[in-house]
Amino acid sequence: MEEKIKIYLSEDVYGILMKDAEFFEFYKKDRTVNRNDFLNTLIVNYFDSYSSADNRLYEDISRTLSREVPDEGITSRLSHEILNLLSKYRFSNENTYDNITVSLKPTRKSAGIIDFIQNNLLTDISLSGYFRNLFASYCQLPQDRREQIIFWEKFEVISRALEENRKVYFTTVRSQEKHIVSPYAIARSQEELFNYLICLYNGAPFSFRLTRIQNVHILKENCEITDEQKQLMEKMRIFAPQFAFYKQEEICVRLTAKGVGLYNRIYSYRPKPTKIVKDLYYFDCSAAQVYHYFLRFGRQARVIYPESLRIQMMRDYENAAREYGSRQL
């Protein structure tokens, strides 16, 4: 199949698909979003689970109808009609309209699946309608789950390495540097946006975003992780997997009344306190997480200790004040 397929989508579904294509870094050489590559990857990686869910629903509908309708042909036809109606209402609402058209050009990796769909699965539904429902179903999933689907192959390899307690080799998108790590867990961020491989890298806890890992291979060597390192990586998994945790130390931050209000409103990267004593908030998480979160609070938050983090925050504010005080453009 070489001709393009026109698919009609709602603004909500189209917006999520385009955002994911950008978030998951599907770019052409000129750094524009490669929409076609993203949509074909989605089809290849999501088809099996989407089709299996549809088959289970069809069998449940058919089994229920067969109790009242003895004719197998009528039962099959009604089951397909009901399934199509359910798909129509499952993946849309009265406030959305399929008013955006996208053109999908099959690629070598997706052509076989698309031919199979066209020849076997289009009972009372068009190919465009089938993909509309598949894309809408995908968009109903949380973003971290969508990322696992788009990068299914490397997610499966890393998951297998974790089960077998084996080291893995990979490169990253932004650098061809070779990495050999002892994987500990795949964890989603607190905001449920991205997945991170938490691992031991060069003898220290570290994390890599799943999107940016490539060329993954399982090695023969077993993982070598101490109990102390496991404790640090478990805290990364619980609090914020995107921030490396190098050592255990309590962090204390004093918040003003306005700072407390900011803390209650700003969710992204927010660390969880182990205790709160009046205006003092205590944390047992990565210093990098506390730094990135509270840096935007300005004078409404002040690091009391550790001293190294207090000095880092102070110097950054001093440098910013010096830059703003400069008359240079």
What the block records as the tokens of 210 is 């799943």
Percent of the chain with pLDDT over 70: 88
Q: How far is CA 12 from CA 15, 149, 238, 316, in A?
A: 5, 19, 31, 40
Confidence of residue 268 (pLDDT cuts 50, 70, 90): confident
Average pLDDT over residues 12-20: 94
pTM above 0.85, yes or no: no
**Distance (Å, rounded) from C-alpha 134 to C-alpha 127?**
11
Report the pLDDT value the prediction gives residue 92, as an integer from 0 to 100.
58
Give phi and psi for 79, each to the nearest 5.
Answer: -60, -45
Helices 152-164 and 143-150 pack at an angle, to 10 degrees, of 90
Report the pLDDT value the prediction gives residue 8, as an integer from 0 to 100.
92
Q: Give tens-digit pLDDT for 296-320.
A: 999 999 999 999 999 999 999 999 9
pLDDT surpassing 80 at residue 133:
yes
Q: Give tens-digit pLDDT for 203-252.
A: 999 999 999 999 999 999 999 999 999 999 998 998 889 888 877 789 99
Fold of the CATH domain 149-239: SH3 type barrels. (2.30.30)
CATH 2.30.30 positions along the chain are 149-239
Report the pLDDT value the prediction gives residue 97, as an integer from 0 to 100.
63
Residue count of the chain: 329
- Residue burial 19-44, b: 16+ Cβ < 10 Å; e: rest: ebbeebebeeeeeeebbbbbbbbbbb
Average pLDDT, the chain: 88
More confident residue, 99 or 291: 291
Q: Taking the mean position of all CA atoms in its chain, how far away is CA 145?
A: 6
Q: Give tens-digit pLDDT for 140-156.
A: 899 999 999 999 999 99
Alpha helices in the chain (DSSP H): 11-23, 35-66, 72-90, 111-120, 127-139, 143-150, 152-164, 227-239, 257-265, 287-294, 307-325
- What do you get for the CA distance between the two ends of the chain, in Å? 56
